[in-house]
Amino acid sequence: GAVVSQHPSRVICKSGTSVKIECRSLDFQATTMFWYRQFPKQSLMLMATSNEGSKATYEQGVEKDKFLINHASLTLSTLTVTSAHPEDSSFYICSARERTSGGSPWGPSYNEQFFGPGTRLTVL
């Protein structure tokens, strides 16, 4: 199956620093990557959708200048949390959608996503 890696798995940083999280599709080309955030006991909330070679689309309430997303290649997207503060402490997880050619068992309309294992960010 499709594999997505995420690095780092855990990071602790001081308030005011910036943290970069990488999301890689290892064995497929991902035209679209999604970034989610999960606070304790809450659901995964979509932060932004990232298309290769274009600007990310942010969900309402997500500051684009604080959460910088770069999707420079078909296998890599990065999320940078700039000037992190304790309230940014959360679990961040990415997913990648394969470039569909119509041969997927799901059909091109279903757009299956493959998730990374997530990054636990703690800002002190």
Partner 1 sequence: ILNVEQSPQSLHVQEGDSTNFTCSFPSSNFYALHWYRWETAKSPEALFVMTLNGDEKKKGRISATLNTKEGYSYLYIKGSQPEDSATYLCAPYNFNKFYFGSGTKLNVKP
Nearer to partner 1, 34 or 78 (CB): 34
Of 31, 23, 6, which is closest to residue 104 (Cα–Cα)?
A: 31
Does 4 bind partner 1 (CB under 8 A)? Our answer is yes
Rounded to 10 degrees, the C-alpha dihedral 70/75/81/82 comes to -40
Nearer to partner 1, 78 or 119 (CB): 119
Q: What share of the chain is helix, strand, coil (3-state, %, to 5)?
A: 0, 50, 45
Smallest distance from the beta carbon of 46 to partner 1, in angstroms?
6
Residue 12: how many CB atoms within 10 A of its CB? Answer: 12
Among 13, 45, 62, 68, binds partner 1 (CB under 8 A): 45
Among 16, 53, 108, 117, binds partner 1 (CB under 8 A): 117
Can you give the binding site for partner 1, defined by CB under 8 A?
A: 4, 34, 36, 41-46, 49, 93, 106, 109-118
